[in-house]
Structures are given as C-alpha cells and as structure tokens.
Amino acid sequence: MQERVELLTTENLKAVHAKLMRTLKVQIVENNVHRGRTNLNSNSNCNNSGAIHYVNAGCTRQTTQKTALVRNNHYNLAFCPVEFVDHQLDYICKMGRQYIARWRNPFATAAWLHVTFTRCHPFDDANGRMARLVSSIPLLRFGFPPLCITPNGRRVYYDSMNIAWEGDYQPMIDCFVNCIRDAMTDVDRVMG
C-alpha cells in the first residue's frame, strides 16, 4: 500500500481488520467484557461465568450496530454514530488518499489519519492498532519506518491524541517524530 494509495479503501481496511482479529475471543461476564487472546481451536478461556464470542472481525460498527462511548475520570468521548460509520470510513479513505498523495509533511498526514480514524472508531475492537497501521502509510511512502509507540512514549501519545482531538495536531506530530526517533535509537542500541 506504500506506493499505491488507491488501496486505502474501506473494503481493504475491513480485510486487514479481519486478519488482525481472526483469533481474538471476548468473554462476556455480567455486563463486563474480559478480553484475552486465545488459540483459534482452544477452549482454555471457557468457564461457566460467561459465553465466549469471537470479535466481529472485519465488520464495522454499522454492521454490528454497537455504539462506542468512553467515559472515565479523564475522558468523555462519543464516537461516530453507528448509522454513519461506513460513510465516515469511506470519507477517511478518500481524504487520506488525497492527503497522502499531495501533502508534503507525512507526519501531519499521519496525525490527521490517526485522529480521524480514532474518532470514527469504526470497529468493535482494535481501533488503536488499526489507526497506527493506517497512520504508517504516509510515513512509509516517505521512507520512514512505521509508527511505533514505545512504552516510554505511551503517555505522551495519549496526551497528544487528546489535544489533537480538540484540533491542535502539532503535539501528535511531535509525538510521532519522537516515537520513531526513540524506536530507531533502540534498534541501533540493540544492533550494536
């Protein structure tokens, strides 16, 4: 997809999500959700406290009709309403293709893609992983490595995402640059 931005489509993102999530099971226990990666053929997470379900891999929330909302001490986020998810994902792909092809700053494009994808929250699970994958496309196109959020950069990553959510993308751009720089420093250190 690095050289062929026309491959950034809703259908391709659904296919990537399906591959990424094909073995994830979710155990539902009295209104709580416990996630755990399991082997496709394993029943090791089965017990009498709740049913095991596979995540709807490759299906958007418009298909599953699940509303996404995050409420805690730090955030109160509502995502794209289910009836508009597929339309919004089409828009993200269309604009993403244009921005990747025309913008000169791949980090600005990556930040826009990341925040817009995260705001849409198109899937039941793995939206952050998918946002980081999609955000890596303009970086790869310009010869940078894919986006890698190091453990030391996680807090800055979340803080910058919250600032970008309000419209100021510069902290997220800086975060992406620093995370890639830190990851490359780690690679150099390991490789000697």
> Which residue numbers are catalytic?
121
CA angle 57, 163, 105 (to 5 degrees): 80
108 annotated binding-site participant: no
192 annotated binding-site participant: no
127 annotated binding-site participant: yes
Q: Is 27 helix (H, G, I), strand (E, B) or coil?
A: strand
CA angle 23, 147, 155 (to 5 degrees): 90
One-letter identity of residue 107: F
Q: Residues of 137-158 as b/e, b for ≥16 C-beta within 10 angstroms? A: bbbbbeebeebbbbeebeebbe
153 annotated binding-site participant: no
71 annotated binding-site participant: no
157 annotated binding-site participant: yes
54 annotated binding-site participant: no
126 annotated binding-site participant: yes
99 annotated binding-site participant: no
Reading the block at residue 88, the tokens are 């919004």
Cα–Cα distance for residue pair 136/76, rounded to 1 Å: 27
Q: How far is CA 87 from CA 33, 94, 107, in A?
A: 28, 11, 25
Q: Which residues are annotated as a binding site for ATP?
A: 125-132, 157-158
Q: Which residues are annotated as a binding site?
A: 125-132, 157-158
